[in-house]
A and B are shown apart, each in its own frame.
Chain A
Amino acid sequence: MNTTEGRVPDAELRKNIFAGGLMGAAYGLLIGVGTDRSLMLTVITGILFGIAIGFRFSVRPPKMRYPMYMARRIAYTASFFLLSSTIYSYLIDLDLSRLQIVLTTLLPTVGWAALVISIGMAIANLDELQRRIQTEAIAIAFGGTAIFVGSYALLQFAGFAQINVGVVVLIMSLMWLVGKLWTMWRYR
C-alpha cells in the first residue's frame, strides 16, 4: 500500500498534483467570489499553490503515515467544502425566502461534515504512536479552546465584542496544529 511516508510512484504523484490543484482551484474560487477580486487571478494562483503542495507532499512526504488515497480524500472533501462555501456566498446575496436562506446556510455543512469524516478516517488508519499523537493533540485543542471560550465569555461581561462561532473553530484548528507539533516533538 502506498502511504504518505517514502517517495511515491509517478502515478501517485500525478494524482496528488491533481488533488492539490483541485483544492487550490476551489480555494481560489472562494477567495475570488468572497473578495470580489479577479476570479482568473485567484483561481490560477490557487491551482499553482495547490500543485506545489501536491508535489511537495509527494517528494518530501510528511511524518504522518496516512495511506496516500486517504490523504487525497481529505483534499477532495476540502475541495467540496470550499466549493459548497463558494456556492453559499453567491446564493446568500440573492433575494431568498426564509427557508431558502436556511438551506443555503446549511449547504457548506455537508462539505464540512465530509471533510471532518475524511480526516477522522485518515486518523483511524494511522499507526498506534501517531494515533496517540493525534489524540493528545485533539485533547490539547479541546482544553485550549475550552479555556479560550470560558475566558472570552467572561470578557464579554466586561464589554468585549461578541465573537463569531467560526473564530472558535479556527482557534480549535490552530490549537490542534500546535498540539500536534508539540506531541510530535515530544516523541521525536
Chain B
Amino acid sequence: MKNRLKVLRAERDWSQAKLAELLDVSRQTINAIETGKYDPSLPLAFKIAFLFGLQIEEIFEPGNEG
C-alpha cells in the first residue's frame, strides 16, 4: 500500500517523532509506514486521517497488490 504520510508530515513541518507523539505510536512505526514496510491497522489509519483532516483514501492508496 502506498501513502502520502511523508508529504503530509513535511507540509506541516513535523518530525517523525512529533507525528509519533501525536498518534501515540513509536517513531519506528511512523518510519515503517512512510517507507511502505508496514501497513497500519484500520484504527490507526483512521487516527492518521483524522489528524490530517482527510479521508483515509486521500492518504493511503492500494499498491501493486491491488
Q: Is the CB of A187 within 8 A of B38?
A: yes
Please tell me if B55 contacts chain A, counting CB pairs below 8 Å. no
Q: How many A-B contacts are there with CB distance less than 8 Å?
A: 42
A100 to B47, CA, bound (A): 56
Which of B31, B32, B41 is packed against the most chain A CB atoms within 10 Å? B32
Residue-wise, chain B 24-39 has the 8 Å CB interface mask toward A (1 for contact) of 1111110110000110
Please tell me if B44 contacts chain A, counting CB pairs below 8 Å. yes
Residue of B17, B24, B25 near A129 (CB, 8 A) is B25
Residues of B within 8 A of A143 (CB): none
Distance in Å from the Cβ of B63 to the closest Cβ of chain A? 17
Q: Is the CB of A128 within 8 A of B37?
A: no
Q: Is the CB of A127 within 8 A of B37?
A: no
Closest to A187 in B: B32
Please tell me if A171 contacts chain B, counting CB pairs below 8 Å. no
Interface residue tally of chain B, by bracket?
A: 10 to 19
A23 to B25, CA, bound (A): 28
Q: Is the CB of A63 within 8 A of B37?
A: no
Q: Is the CB of B29 within 8 A of A127?
A: yes
Which residues of chain B (1-28) have a CB below 8 Å from chain A? 17, 20-21, 24-28
Distance in Å from the Cβ of B18 to the closest Cβ of chain A? 11
Knowing A6-B17, A128-B44, A129-B32 touch, does A187 contact B26 (C-beta < 8 A)?
Answer: no
Please tell me if A186 contacts chain B, counting CB pairs below 8 Å. yes
Residues of A within 8 A of B41 (CB): 128
Distance in Å from the Cβ of B56 to the closest Cβ of chain A? 16
A35 to B19, CA, bound (A): 50
Q: Is the CB of A187 within 8 A of B37?
A: yes
Distance in Å from the Cβ of B20 to the closest Cβ of chain A? 8
Distance in Å from the Cβ of B52 to the closest Cβ of chain A? 19
A63 to B24, CA, bound (A): 14
Q: Is the CB of B28 within 8 A of A63?
A: yes
Distance in Å from the Cβ of A155 to the closest Cβ of chain B? 39
A126 to B31, CA, bound (A): 16
Knowing A6-B17, A187-B37 touch, does A127 contact B32 (C-beta < 8 A)?
Answer: no
Shortest beta-carbon contacts, A-B, top 9 = A65-B26, A127-B25, A129-B29, A187-B32, A187-B37, A129-B38, A63-B28, A128-B41, A127-B26
- In the complex, besides A129-B25, A129-B29, A129-B38, 5 extra interface pairs with C-beta distance below 8 angstroms are A5-B27, A63-B28, A129-B28, A132-B38, A188-B28
